[in-house]
Amino acid sequence: MGKLNHQTLGKQDTSIQTEKFFISIGGIGCAIISHDVRFLDLLRTRYQWFQSSGPAAYEILVRLAPIDEFDLEMTSQPFYPLVRKMTSGDNYIIRRVDNPFVAVVNTSSRKVLVKMWNSQYCFDSFLRMLFTLILSDEEGLLLQASAVSDNGRATVFFGPPGSGKTMATRLYAGRKILTDGMVIIKPHNGGFRVYGTPFGGDFTFGRSNARAELAGLYLLKKDTKNSLVPLDSTQAVENLYKCALIFGDDHKMSSRIRHTCGSLVETIPVYELHFSPAPSFWQEVNVRI
C-alpha cells in the first residue's frame, strides 16, 4: 500500500460519464461522484434527508471494485479501521479491512478518492470515518450520543454502546429527535451547535438534518432512580473524549479532538445522569435547561 496515490486509486474508465449528487451533513456539503448510477441511486435513498442542491466543500469520487480486488491489498494491513496521515503534503489514508475500502483524502484541495466494495453500508462506514477527519479540522467532533431539541436548544445524551441513548430520546415525549446514534458538535457564535446525522445502528429511526444550539451534555448511567451529578472539568473531558469517534493513531488529530472536548466543557455544563427507564427522569433534565 506504500505506492497508493490518486492515480492508482482513481483508475476509472474515462469513456463512461459520471453522475453526482449532493449531501450536507453538519453544515458540510459533499458532492458524491461515480460512474455507477445504480449505486448512486442507493445512496440517494439512504441519505434522502441529507440531500442538498450544493455547493460542495468536498468532492468524493467513488470507484466500486469486486471484493477479491481487496484481498492482496489488505492482508498485511491492520484489521481495525484506520485514518493515517501520509508522509507528504496534506494527504490522509482512510482504510477498513473487514468491510473493505481504501481512500485518499487531501485536506487542502478537499478532494477524496475512494475504492470500495459495492455496499451502501460500506460507504456509510467510510463516510463517518471521513467526517471524523473533516470535523477535527473545524474544531468539531462526531460523538456517540443521542440528541433532542426544544425551542431551538439541544440536549445531548452521550455514553458508550448500551448506555441508553436511544431509550432516553424515545422517553422524551414532545421534543424533536435530532439523532439517536451519533451527533456532530461544532463551534458556533461563541457556543456550540448540534447537528443530526445519518450515522447510527438503526437505519430507520432518528435521522434528521436539523440543528440546534447546545444547551447541556449528559453522560448516561442506567440506574433504579433518577439523579444528576455534576462532573468536574477533568472528568467531563475524559468522558467526552472516550465517546468521540477517533480512528487510528494520528497524534495531531487526537489532540485537536481532545481540545474540542476541553472547549465544550468550558462552555457547556456536563452532568452524569443516573436514570431509570421511565419518562419521569426528564424532570431532572428540565430544571437544568
Q: Using an 8 Å Cβ cutoff, are 126 and 173 in contact?
A: no
pLDDT greater than 70 at residue 176: yes
Q: Using an 8 Å Cβ cutoff, are 274 and 225 in contact?
A: yes
Burial label, 263 (beta-carbon count in 10 A; 0-12, 13-18, 19+)? middle
Write out pLDDT tens, residues 71-119: 655 555 666 668 989 887 899 999 998 888 999 999 999 999 999 999 9
> Is the N-terminal amide bond of 187 cis, ω within 30° of 0?
no
Highest mean pLDDT of the ranges 87-91, 268-272, 282-286: 268-272
197 phi/psi in degrees, rounded to 5: -135, 165
pLDDT greater than 80 at residue 289: no
Q: Considering the chain, what percentage of its residues have pLDDT values greater than 90?
A: 60
Look up the CATH number of domain 141-286.
3.90.228.20
Q: Using an 8 Å Cβ cutoff, are 192 and 267 in contact?
A: yes
The total number of residues written for the chain in this structure: 289
Q: Where are the domains of the chain?
A: 6-136, 141-286
pLDDT greater than 70 at residue 205: no
Q: Using an 8 Å Cβ cutoff, are 173 and 124 in contact?
A: no
Q: What is the pTM of this model?
A: 0.88
List, in order, residues 6 or more apart from 116 with CB less than 8 Å away.
62, 63, 64, 65, 100, 101, 102, 103, 122, 123, 126
Q: In angstroms, what CA-CA distances link 23 with 46, 61, 112, 204?
A: 11, 14, 15, 18
